[in-house]
Amino acid sequence: MSDKVLVEVSARHVHVSEADLETLFGKGYKLTPKKELSQPGQYAAEEKVTVVGPRGEIKMSILGPTRKSTQVEVSYTDARTLGVQAPLRESGDTIKSAPVKLVGPEGEIELAEGVIVAKRHIHMLPTDAEKFGVTNGQIVGVKIETDGRSIVFGDTVVRVRDDFALAMHIDTDEANAAGISGTAQGEIIA
């Protein structure tokens, strides 16, 4: 196992519930996996939805499989484009987050809440956590050396689960601030 953590850039995307998928794409509709992601079982789907805010709209990819609730993950830049006040949250924590409209080929949904800016985080297995000496929920810093925009991302949440793979996720604003295009390697620091 390497001492470094793979850093991946997570662009804006939408997770949908089974019910919302049917509203947007039609009864009995199933997502079409297009590309596997680093987390086991997760994939980018062929399907896209248009996310419509009070100021602008952005077409976003759906990530599968379907989840318990629909969630839109954007950068602060995207939130500004849409015209929504998206709070900084961990994935799944969407209570009282920003409202938005989703438009699919077969229907629309007025989402009362669900738009968040994701807190940077590291997915890892229990064996990784043991190796790095960290625990689920712990806040760490991650140092990334790049050509001209080296950075230490503080406030990074460690998320440990049996079905995760070791990878840090940052959004596109964070990637730009670190001068990362593609992936990078990070070092967990105290």
Give the residues lining the site for its own copies (CB under 8 A).
75-77, 88, 119-120, 141, 145-155, 170, 172-174, 176-179
* Distance in angstroms (rounded) separating the CA atoms of residues 134 and 130: 6
Cβ neighbors of 53 (< 8 A, separation 6 or more) are 81, 82, 83, 84, 100, 101
Residue 11, judged by CB atoms within 10 A of its CB (0-12, 13-18, 19+), counts as middle
* Distance in angstroms (rounded) separating the CA atoms of residues 190 and 144: 14
* Distance in angstroms (rounded) separating the CA atoms of residues 125 and 162: 5
In eight-state DSSP terms, residue 95 is T
Strand extents, DSSP E, 121-182: 121-124, 139-144, 151-160, 167-170
From residue 115, alpha-carbon distances to 67, 70, 108, 130 in Å are 15, 9, 16, 33
